[in-house]
């Protein structure tokens, strides 16, 4: 049995009364409820479902159930995923989480505005849509230049400022034949049309705001090539405001840390990057000098020399091993770490197959790694003195 969709005609209502038609247990914490009517919009058309509660007054007080998911089948039967059981015939009242519903309405209407503009300017179709708690993504079947994204965003916000009505209706079949509406798939049965005069006309099942002014700011966050076309990410209204607030707070925090304001923050970050790059270069030089000093303590010609150090970069360790292989026979190794947390290692040789050493070490220690005949690397967990004894005895 089709569930009466109260959200079609009453998208701004938050409470409703209904009768429970059926209740089935899904698992220990979830029951599947079917009501005769509902304001809960199900997961449909790429949009997340409404959430909220159902209540029933009993002799023992109010019985309250949280609705965590809502689904719809091909027969338009809407199933509510409840954490509490009800009985068929129970009379319940429902209340949806309004801010979730309204911000979804803002973002979905914003998507229509963007998609209508892109369809008009480029002839592209919207081939994918996803509206979650944090982001809205739309996929289009053609490329858009980066330089055009700002223009699309500007035109979209002009449509918001113009505050034109958003009309939702179920036109009859004859009227539908004359409407140049967008649709991502072939549709059967009654078709719900959402029209924004001069902006867009599209088949859509979701609740929308009454006029474009309610969408608030439309902000395109990213535009990326995707399957030969484009994927845009946007936020609208309160969600765009929240995102702007988060980013503004981040800029203020970074500015305080770098002693810069918004106008000088980029220069301060570049200067900090340059300073870090320079310091990293100095650190590498000092690391190599330190490792070189330690290597000079190894007697010339010593077979299978190995060094133990801690906190050095991988490139310093690799350069150290390469230097050892030029002056010492057998296997040359640097173990970088400590007995508690283990060691990363690089082992090289000018005249031996390092993979044979790795196979030998695997018989003695908990070790991982791999490489070529000339050099191997990886990690092992063992005591340094034990490693050195096994290594030099091979």
- Whether residues 168 and 113 share a domain: the answer is yes
Residue 276 domain-assigned? no
Quote the pLDDT of residue 145: 93
Cα distances (Å, whole numbers) of residue 366 to 56, 371, 381: 61, 17, 6
| Of the residues 71, 96, 121, the one at which a domain ends | 96
Quote the pLDDT of residue 64: 95
Digit-coded pLDDT (tens) for 152-197: 999 999 999 999 999 999 999 889 888 899 887 677 778 999 999 9
- Whether residues 140 and 79 share a domain: the answer is no
Quote the pLDDT of residue 12: 97
- Whether residues 105 and 241 share a domain: the answer is yes
Digit-coded pLDDT (tens) for 90-114: 999 999 999 999 999 999 999 999 9
- From 333, 367, 369, select the one nearest 349 (Cα to Cα): 333
- From 384, 312, 314, 324, select the one nearest 348 (Cα to Cα): 324
The tokens for 317 are: 């360790």
Cα distances (Å, whole numbers) of residue 59 to 56, 63, 71, 86: 10, 10, 31, 15
- From 79, 70, 74, select the one nearest 50 (Cα to Cα): 70
Rg (the chain; Cα; Å): 33
Digit-coded pLDDT (tens) for 123-158: 999 999 999 888 899 999 999 999 999 999 999 999
Quote the pLDDT of residue 28: 86
In angstroms, the first-to-last Cα distance of the chain is: 78
CATH number, domain of 380, equals 3.10.310.40
Residue 252 domain-assigned? no
Digit-coded pLDDT (tens) for 335-377: 999 999 999 999 999 999 999 999 999 999 989 999 999 999 9
Cα distances (Å, whole numbers) of residue 20 to 3, 10, 23, 67, 84: 11, 20, 7, 14, 13
The tokens for 385 are: 């003195």
Quote the pLDDT of residue 61: 82
**Domain range for 58:** 4-96
Quote the pLDDT of residue 301: 78
Q: Name the residue with higher pLDDT: 32 or 296.
A: 32
Q: Please state, in angstroms and rounded to a whole number, the distance separating the CA atoms of residues 315 and 199.
A: 58
- Whether residues 378 and 323 share a domain: the answer is yes
- Whether residues 234 and 106 share a domain: the answer is yes
- Whether residue 342 contacts residue 378, with contact meaning beta carbons closer than 8 Å, is answered with no
The tokens for 391 are: 């290594």
Q: Please state, in angstroms and rounded to a whole number, the distance separating the CA atoms of residues 258 and 268.
A: 7
Quote the pLDDT of residue 337: 94
- Whether residues 233 and 305 share a domain: the answer is no
On the question of pLDDT at 223 being above 90, the answer is: yes
Q: Please state, in angstroms and rounded to a whole number, the distance separating the CA atoms of residues 88 and 124.
A: 48
Q: Please state, in angstroms and rounded to a whole number, the distance separating the CA atoms of residues 361 and 286.
A: 31
Digit-coded pLDDT (tens) for 38-88: 999 999 988 999 999 999 988 788 899 999 999 999 899 999 999 999 999
Residue 275 domain-assigned? no
Q: Among residues of the chain, what percentage have pLDDT more than 90?
A: 82
- Whether residues 129 and 214 share a domain: the answer is yes
Residue 121 domain-assigned? yes
- Whether residues 113 and 12 share a domain: the answer is no
Phi and psi dihedrals of 95, rounded to 5? -140, 120
Quote the pLDDT of residue 391: 86
Residue 208 domain-assigned? yes
- Whether residues 106 and 211 share a domain: the answer is yes
Number of domains in the chain: 3
Least confident range of 176-185, 212-221, 244-253: 176-185
Q: Among residues of the chain, what percentage have pLDDT more than 70?
A: 99
Mean pLDDT of 185-214: 91
Helix (H) or strand (E) holding 236: strand 229-236
- Whether residues 110 and 232 share a domain: the answer is yes
Helix (H) or strand (E) holding 333: strand 332-338
Q: Please state, in angstroms and rounded to a whole number, the distance separating the CA atoms of residues 142 and 150.
A: 17
Quote the pLDDT of residue 236: 97
Least confident range of 8-12, 91-95, 294-298: 294-298
On the question of pLDDT at 240 being above 90, the answer is: yes
Cα distances (Å, whole numbers) of residue 131 to 54, 128, 231, 234, 265: 24, 10, 13, 10, 33
- Whether residues 213 and 112 share a domain: the answer is yes
CATH number, domain of 110, equals 3.30.980.10
Residue 169 domain-assigned? yes
């Amino acid at each position: 049995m089709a569930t009466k969709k109260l959200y079609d005609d009453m998208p701004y209502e938050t409470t409703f009364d209904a009768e429970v038609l059926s209740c089935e247990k899904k698992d220990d914490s979830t029951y599947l409820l079917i009501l005769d009517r509902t304001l809960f919009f199900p997961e449909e058309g790429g949009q997340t479902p409404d959430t909220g509660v159902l209540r029933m007054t009993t002799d023992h007080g109010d019985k309250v159930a949280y609705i965590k998911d809502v689904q719809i089948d091909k027969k338009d039967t809407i199933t509510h995923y409840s954490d509490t059981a009800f009985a068929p015939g129970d009379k319940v009242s429902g209340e949806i989480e309004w801010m979730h519903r309204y911000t979804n309405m803002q973002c979905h209407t914003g998507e229509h505005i963007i998609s209508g503009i892109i369809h008009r300017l480029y002839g592209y179709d919207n081939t994918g849509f996803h509206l979650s708690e944090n982001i809205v993504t739309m996929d289009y079947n053609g490329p858009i230049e980066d330089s055009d994204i700002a223009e699309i965003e500007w035109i979209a916000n002009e449509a918001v400022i113009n505050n034109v009505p958003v009309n939702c209706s179920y036109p009859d079949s004859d009227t539908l034949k004359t409407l140049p509406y967008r649709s991502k798939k072939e549709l059967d049965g009654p078709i719900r049309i959402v029209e924004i005069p001069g902006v867009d006309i599209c088949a859509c099942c979701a609740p929308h705001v009454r006029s474009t002014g309610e969408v608030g700011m439309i902000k395109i966050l990213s535009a990326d090539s995707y399957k030969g076309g484009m994927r845009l990410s946007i936020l609208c209204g309160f969600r765009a405001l929240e995102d702007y607030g988060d980013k503004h707070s981040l800029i203020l925090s970074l500015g305080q840390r770098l002693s810069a304001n918004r106008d000088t923050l980029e220069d301060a970050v570049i200067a900090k990057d340059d300073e870090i790059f320079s310091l990293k270069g100095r650190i590498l030089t000092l690391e190599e000098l330190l490792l070189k000093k330690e290597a000079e303590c190894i007697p010339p010609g010593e077979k299978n020399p190995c060094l133990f150090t801690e906190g050095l970069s991988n490139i310093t360790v690799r350069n150290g091993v390469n230097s050892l292989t030029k002056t010492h026979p057998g296997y040359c190794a640097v173990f970088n770490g400590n007995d508690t947390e283990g060691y990363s290692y690089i082992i090289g040789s000018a005249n031996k197959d390092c993979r044979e050493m790795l196979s030998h070490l695997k018989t003695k220690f908990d070790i991982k790694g791999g490489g070529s005949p000339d050099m191997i690397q990886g990690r092992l967990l063992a005591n340094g003195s034990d490693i050195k004894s096994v290594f030099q005895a091979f």
